[in-house]
Structure 1
Amino acid sequence: MDTSESSSTAPGTADDDGPSPQEAPRRGWRRWAMDTRPLRRPAYRRLWSSTIVTAVGSQLTAVAVPKQIYDITGSSAWVGYASLAGLVPMVAFALWGGAVADTMDRRRLLLITNTGIAVTSVLFWLQAAAGLDNVAVLMVLLAAQQAFFGLNAPARTASIARLVPAQELAAANALGSTVMQTGLVAGPLLAGALIPVIGLPELYLVDALALCVTLWAVYRLPALPPLDGSAARRAGIREIAEGFRYISRHKVLLLSFLADIVAMVFGMPRALFPQLAAQTYASYGEGLALGLLFAAIPIGAVLGGLFSGTFSRARRHGWMVIGAVVAWGAAIAAFGLSGSLWFAVVFLAVAGVADMVSMVFRGAILLSAVTDEMRGRMQGVFTVVVAGGPRLADVLHGTAGAAFGPRTAVTGGGLLVVAVMLALTAAAPALRRYRI
């Protein structure tokens, strides 16, 4: 699919708050800083504000659940099983939720699913406060919460294209991605600081109360019914399958998904961080090394978001994705070759910046190159790819690290990302031709 195949945002749907705000050209340092134009639009600002709360609050529960399971069982295996218990319903309901988001008012769906997430957070609090210490209850609640998240995510992201014009989609994605990455850094740090002070039950309660703020912000969004008036359309297996057929007919969408799969499956080395911290970087202190390795990529992503003015106005979205994935692979390969912890952290942070750029433009392509009646289903597939890729990478890198050593596995994975992405670019020109 080239630019002639892309569909622009339908007139009157992405600019509910009036004409596009006029602005003077950005000069000096403002050319480099984050592009905040979408925040001038009240509806998008409400959606983005709700993301700030959930980005941090969700990480409180993400830390509290495995902590509580480990306290009960004393087994990391049970923590892994809990992760799987959350992944399966999230994948299933993200695919279905994408179809649902294309058949009903997306604001209404967000209200329903955010209420469900809030209720499960309250139930997490009640079971912890009651001292149940029951792993089965925790896993059921986690599965329910992730199912609601799977239903919520496609509707939330698909709504952005109805709240901002096409030329601001990249900036809107940069704002949202920066907040989410900040939550990945700040949330666990806050949870670690609060658990010794207030305890696990109250940590769940904080998340539940924060979700009330999210509900209020979503309640104030405008109605977002299907543009084609087909609210009575079903959201079943046939509609989900039609989403996959849509991807197969539009090469730029297929390539954008493949780009993320290539980057994450071959190039996400987090499964090897503990071994690298214990062996390669042990002289720096295992705990310090482990913390820095896990924090480096999200910190780099946040920095990339803060300076997203350098790229959010680019029009060649396909080339931005290609360049970002190649840069990610090269940075990961350089990380694998690094014997110094500080060089390793720098290269991982560079990879985080590249990941931010890739997220921004893959997201913009999925919103701009897709008709509104398919956006929910495309975001459902996107949610599955984003969640599943790193987990497949954990298996692949863990196996390769055990067979060849962690540094060889990391370096080889990074180089494989570069090679496969360049081969895809040469073989299928649709992505490199895509622009808005």
Structure 2
Amino acid sequence: MRLGDLVVDTTPLRHSKEFRYLFIARMVSLFGFGLTTVAIPVQIYDLTGSSLHVSLVSVVIMVPMLVGTLAGGVLADRVDRRRLIVLARAGVVPVFALLALNALLDPAQLWVIYLCAALNSVLNGLSATALMAATPAIVGRDQLASAGALMAITAELGAIVGPSLGGALTAAFGLSANYALTGVATLVTTSLVALIRPLPPTGPVDESPLRSIAEGLRFVARSRVVAGLLLIDMCVALFTMPFALFPEIAERVFAGGAGVVGLLYAAPAAGAMIAASASGWTGRVRHTGRYLVAATVACGAAVALFGLSGGALWLALTALALLGAADTVSEILRRSLLQHNTPDHLQGRVSSLWLAQTNVGPALGNFEAGLLARLVGPLTAVVAGGALCVATSAAVGAAMPALRRASLLDPSADELAGDAA
């Protein structure tokens, strides 16, 4: 493998003006999301003094996000995808305006914060699904891995910079300014998405929504590659998400406080950024499925290494960085293979299933890790999760040869359908 193959492939940015619009829009949107990840918990804790109320935000966000994602999958295959993204993003602007006005009240109304968080989650679910479904038509099937890597970079930059900027902005100018800036950022993303060409549906739209959902489920059940991708994605989500244990591990294992917790959370993001920046090879390898299975197994091994690090903080941070790197490679390959093997008229529904699993899986994984930690201790729980990820990922790869043989260099689902016709 040449050194040039390791550098992230920027072809989609150089050759597609519309992808540049989406790339910038997503970057700005993720920075805005990072602002609110700080502002909403801080405001709720200031109002209630209760961590329970803060934790309830996760539930308030997760359920509407799931509804919006599933609904977005059906709508993305029935209406113009660009219009759906624009309408969903535009609908978020008044939500942040309401949050900004509520923050000026003395005291602010707690129910308004929960309501706005729920509305924002529904609309984010709609736009995220439509965006994922629209990507193959914008960049082309041969650039899916490159586009996925570039999108992964925006996600990691947003995760690193957004919360830091949100905390500084809130401390300097207050919560209302934070929400107002997020609303402006959302307006910018809406304007950028509006510049791309219309993306009308390519399949029949006269069937009922329930039949439309059933068609998507039947496709997933028939496609051994897509079904295998969803299964192996669940292995990662369930068994490599020990993030809820970081505060306890920082205190009991490393005898540290918030500073150590921050390092534990930052290490996977750092590894992910490095992997995404060196992902040029992901779209060029022949055996994409095999690399995917290997990356997923590597996620489990990295988690187990973290659990076995003992009191060596440097080893724990290294293991978490390896986890972030392996997970990013795995996600790029999973997303690319999913889009490559899904016909365009089903992209919305299949993407919604994948995104729904992506949203729910980590929450279940954190709950599983917390429950197991109470029974056997945090480090043993982490090692067990890593071992289970290795075992289940290897089992999925062994039981589904179609997934192992899958390649981004093979004809896409649309090309195969055209040849058959």
TM over 0.5: yes
Contact 1:174 1:312 in 2 (8 A): no
Structure 2 residue 217 is matched with structure 1 residue 244: yes
* Deviation sequence 1:344-382 (CA, Å, 0-9, x none): 011101110111111111111121100111000111111
Distance 2:267 2:50 in 1: 27
Distance 1:82 1:355 in 2: 26
The residue type equivalent to 1:243 in the other structure is: G
Structure 2 residue 242 is matched with structure 1 residue 269: yes
Distance 1:149 1:46 in 2: 18
How many angstroms does 1:322 deviate by? 0.6
How many angstroms does 1:317 deviate by? 2.2
Map 1:305-344 → 2, pairs under 5 A? 305-339=276-310, 340-344=312-316
Contact 2:76 2:348 in 1 (8 A): yes
How many angstroms does 1:311 deviate by? 2.9
Secondary structure at the residue paired with 2:131?
A: helix
The residue type equivalent to 1:127 in the other structure is: N
How many angstroms does 1:429 deviate by? 1.1
Distance 1:132 1:222 in 2: 45
Distance 1:58 1:313 in 2: 33
Map 1:190-339 → 2, pairs under 5 A? 190-228=165-203, 230=204, 232-233=205-206, 236-282=209-255, 285-339=256-310
Find 1:408's aligned residue among 371, 380, 396: 380
How many angstroms does 1:266 deviate by? 1.3
Distance 1:386 1:189 in 2: 24
Alignment-derived partner of residue 95 in structure 2:
120
How many angstroms does 1:28 deviate by? 6.7
Alignment-derived partner of residue 347 in structure 2:
375
Distance 1:315 1:114 in 2: 38
TM-score by length of 2: 0.94
Structure 2 residue 41 is matched with structure 1 residue 66: yes
Alignment-derived partner of residue 328 in structure 2:
356
RMSD of aligned Cα (Å): 1.4
Contact 2:240 2:303 in 1 (8 A): yes
The residue type equivalent to 2:297 in the other structure is: V
Task: State the 4+ residue runs in structure 1 displaced beyond 6 angstroms.
Answer: none
Secondary structure at the residue paired with 2:79?
A: coil
Change (3 A) 1:288 1:209: same
Secondary structure at the residue paired with 2:206?
A: coil
Structure 2 residue 402 is matched with structure 1 residue 426: no
How many angstroms does 1:192 deviate by? 1.7
Secondary structure at the residue paired with 2:99?
A: helix
Distance 1:406 1:89 in 2: 31
* Deviation sequence 1:200-251 (CA, Å, 0-9, x none): 11011111111121111101001100123x4x43562332232222111111
Contact 2:282 2:288 in 1 (8 A): no
How many angstroms does 1:314 deviate by? 2.2
Alignment-derived partner of residue 87 in structure 1:
62
Secondary structure at the residue paired with 2:200?
A: coil
Contact 1:96 1:240 in 2 (8 A): no
Q: Give the total of aligned pairs.
A: 406
Alignment-derived partner of residue 364 in structure 2:
392
Change (3 A) 1:162 1:381: same
Secondary structure at the residue paired with 1:239?
A: helix
Secondary structure at the residue paired with 2:407?
A: coil
* Percentage of pairs with the same residue: 37
Alignment-derived partner of residue 15 in structure 1:
none
Alignment-derived partner of residue 9 in structure 2:
35
Structure 1 regions of 5+ residues with no counterpart? 1-26
* Deviation sequence 1:283-306 (CA, Å, 0-9, x none): xx3122100111111221111111
Secondary structure at the residue paired with 2:283?
A: coil
Distance 2:185 2:375 in 1: 45
Distance 2:153 2:319 in 1: 19
Change (3 A) 1:67 1:235: farther
Distance 1:296 1:61 in 2: 22
Contact 2:241 2:365 in 1 (8 A): yes
Change (3 A) 1:362 1:28: closer
* Deviation sequence 1:87-126 (CA, Å, 0-9, x none): 1111012111101000011000011001012221121111
Secondary structure at the residue paired with 1:207?
A: helix
Structure 2 regions of 5+ residues with no counterpart? 409-421
Distance 1:48 1:290 in 2: 31
Distance 1:414 1:307 in 2: 25
The residue type equivalent to 1:434 in the other structure is: A
